[in-house]
Chain A
Amino acid sequence: MRDLFAVIMLSGIYSLIAASLFITMDAADVAFTEAAVGAGVSTLLLLKTLALVDRHESTGPTRPGLAITVVIATGALLAYGTLDMHPFGETHTPSNDHIAAYYLENSIEDTGVPNVVTSILASYRGFDTLGELIVIFTAGIGVIVLLGQTGTSDSEIRPAMRQHLVLRVVSKILIPFIMLFAFYVQFHGEYGPGGGFQAGVIFASAVILYSILFGPEAARSVFSNATTRILAVSGVLLFACTGIVSMLKGKAFLDYSALAEDPVSGQLLGILLVELGVGITVAAVLIRVFLEFDERRWQPDDQRGQS
């Protein structure tokens, strides 16, 4: 398929179907992430990339024989790998016997969080989540370094968007509720599906929607380059400082039970702070990445060709 627009749309649909699949397997948090990130924001960013490059794939010299060989070889290897997998639904597997059972049994007593996914992500596996957050942060830095060199931007609302009166009115009604929902997901993550990652993505998509319809300058008046930079850094810092404070109080790094008198309420506080840090960084990085892409769109042609 050479029409890249259709490819992007299909990948978004694929993400949405995958999210439905996760829902049927009772993995609500994963489904939430897949729907928000895969079907929502990454589709948007890919479309934004498409605005920078050509819509159709360039027809260079292709070697279908080589491609098919590589695909078949990889597929055969993957199929061979499935032979070692456990039968579907088997209870006594390393992934079930090893440490997951401990998490499931002790999550409420240790952390007081009913949603085990949140307690694993933020508390038991706090190191991993900190690493993931730093990956996102680094990706944001990479995009800023690659795209953010030139500073000219267009303050005009695009002529195509000025005609969309219905879109603008409806989005003005909806955007506050999208942001409210983001905060709900953020602060309800201990009890229901959701958490910092999803909340950050939803909040960022509200701002992105606003910037699409009302022009990037309108979004920049709140989320300027300096603001997003400070927010992105402060989220990571909040996460890391929570760990360092628990270290200063005499426990291990990211062991939140040192944060309060009662270990459980310390865990709750720590998880809240850490999730907030994740949400702030994810939202700031995504907003900034989108705005960088947006600014790039309006470069004159001679500058655009160099990348």
Chain B
Amino acid sequence: MAETIVSFIAACLLLLGCLFCVTGAVGMIRFPNFFARVHATSVTDSLGAGLILIGLALLSDSATPVFKLLFILLFTLITAPTAVHALTKAAMHAGSHTASPIEELPASDEGGPSSKH
């Protein structure tokens, strides 16, 4: 019984993680400017990958994979926001985008490849 509950929770986490990954991918394609896109991809990195890793850790039956997955989770939780932070900061300093990205939002219409950075 307990195994069924655990695997059910793991399945839910995996599904939710996949959902976040897909959301991030859609956001990266559809969002209008660079900062909104980076925000969408950071969701993929932290929430999507994190939930999938926790789900996989719940599904594994021995201790070693669990530890490895938790290490990967810890590593992702440290590196992914750092990478996004560096990317955003570099974009700000490059000066190709305004300092307040919110105001830029209505100005650019469809996020075509021309606005890709």
Binding site for B on A (CB under 8 A): 160, 163-164, 166-167, 170, 173-174
Contact B85 A167, beta carbon cutoff 8 Å: yes
B89 lies within 8 A of chain A by Cβ: yes
Contact B82 A167, beta carbon cutoff 8 Å: yes
Q: Which residues of chain B in 72-117 are interfacial with respect to chain A, using CB atoms and an 8 Å cutoff?
A: 78-79, 82, 85-86, 89-90, 93
Contact A163 B82, beta carbon cutoff 8 Å: no
Q: Please give 5 more A-B residue pairs, beta carbons under 8 A apart, in addition to A170-B79, A170-B82.
A: A164-B89, A166-B86, A167-B86, A173-B78, A174-B78
> Chain B residue with minimal CB distance to A169?
B82
Q: Which of A163, A166, A170 meets B93, CB within 8 Å?
A: A163
Contacts of B93 in A (CB 8 A): 160, 163
Bound-state CA distance A166–B85 (Å) is: 8
> Chain A residue with minimal CB distance to B86?
A167
Task: Name the 7 nearest CB pairs between A and B, nearest first.
Answer: A170-B82, A166-B85, A167-B86, A166-B82, A170-B78, A167-B82, A164-B86
Show 18 A/B contacts (Cβ-Cβ < 8 Å), sorted by A: A160-B90, A160-B93, A163-B89, A163-B93, A164-B86, A164-B89, A166-B82, A166-B85, A166-B86, A167-B82, A167-B85, A167-B86, A170-B78, A170-B79, A170-B82, A173-B78, A174-B78, A174-B79
Contacts of B82 in A (CB 8 A): 166-167, 170
- Interface on chain A toward B: helix, strand, loop, or mixed SS? helix
Bound-state CA distance A170–B93 (Å) is: 20
Bound-state CA distance A173–B89 (Å) is: 20
Bound-state CA distance A228–B89 (Å) is: 34
Bound-state CA distance A174–B78 (Å) is: 9
> Chain A residue with minimal CB distance to B71?
A177
Q: How far is the CB of B84 from chain A (nearest CB, A)?
A: 10
Bound-state CA distance A163–B79 (Å) is: 18
Bound-state CA distance A164–B93 (Å) is: 11
Bound-state CA distance A166–B89 (Å) is: 10
Interface centre among B78, B82, B86, B93, by most A CB within 10 Å? Answer: B82
Contacts of A170 in B (CB 8 A): 78-79, 82
Bound-state CA distance A160–B79 (Å) is: 20
Q: How far is the CB of A185 from chain B (nearest CB, A)?
A: 14
Contacts of A166 in B (CB 8 A): 82, 85-86
Bound-state CA distance A104–B94 (Å) is: 55
> Chain B residue with minimal CB distance to A159?
B93
Bound-state CA distance A160–B89 (Å) is: 10
Contacts of B89 in A (CB 8 A): 163-164
Contacts of A164 in B (CB 8 A): 86, 89
Contacts of B79 in A (CB 8 A): 170, 174
Q: How far is the CB of A168 from chain B (nearest CB, A)?
A: 10
Bound-state CA distance A167–B84 (Å) is: 10
Bound-state CA distance A164–B86 (Å) is: 7
> Chain B residue with minimal CB distance to A6?
B116
